[in-house]
A = this chain, B = another copy of it.
Amino acid sequence: MHSSHKTKIERRLKIIAGQIRGLQELVANDTYCIDVITQTSAVKQALTAIEDIMMESHLGTCVIRQIKGGQEEKAKAEILKVYQLKRK
């Protein structure tokens, strides 16, 4: 992974760790369900943003190297796997 991508993802994961602590407090304090769900949704969207950065990085480095180096099947199967996971 490019070091700029890595730094960006590490910063975002730190924020997400804080959001999870926030969620734990919301639940402990009996916050209104709708407000908790709004917050879990925000965390999922933050994780999706990380996935998009990871995927961009993966396509720009590993995939090109794999396909040029004869590992087409591996490259293809892995992209397909995360493409299918994206809906989950």
Binding site for B on A (CB under 8 A): 1, 6, 9-10, 13-14, 16-17, 20-21, 23-24, 27-28, 30, 32-34, 36-38, 40-41, 43-45, 47-48, 50-52, 54-60, 62-64, 67-68, 72, 75-76, 78-88
Interfacial chain B residues near A75, Cβ < 8 Å: 59
Cβ contacts A to B, 17 pairs, < 8 Å: A10-B27, A14-B24, A17-B24, A36-B54, A37-B55, A37-B58, A37-B82, A38-B81, A38-B82, A40-B50, A41-B82, A52-B80, A60-B72, A64-B67, A67-B68, A83-B83, A87-B88
Given contacts A37-B54, A68-B68, A83-B86, 11 further A-B contacts (CB under 8 A): A13-B20, A16-B20, A17-B24, A33-B54, A33-B55, A34-B81, A37-B58, A40-B47, A48-B88, A52-B84, A64-B67
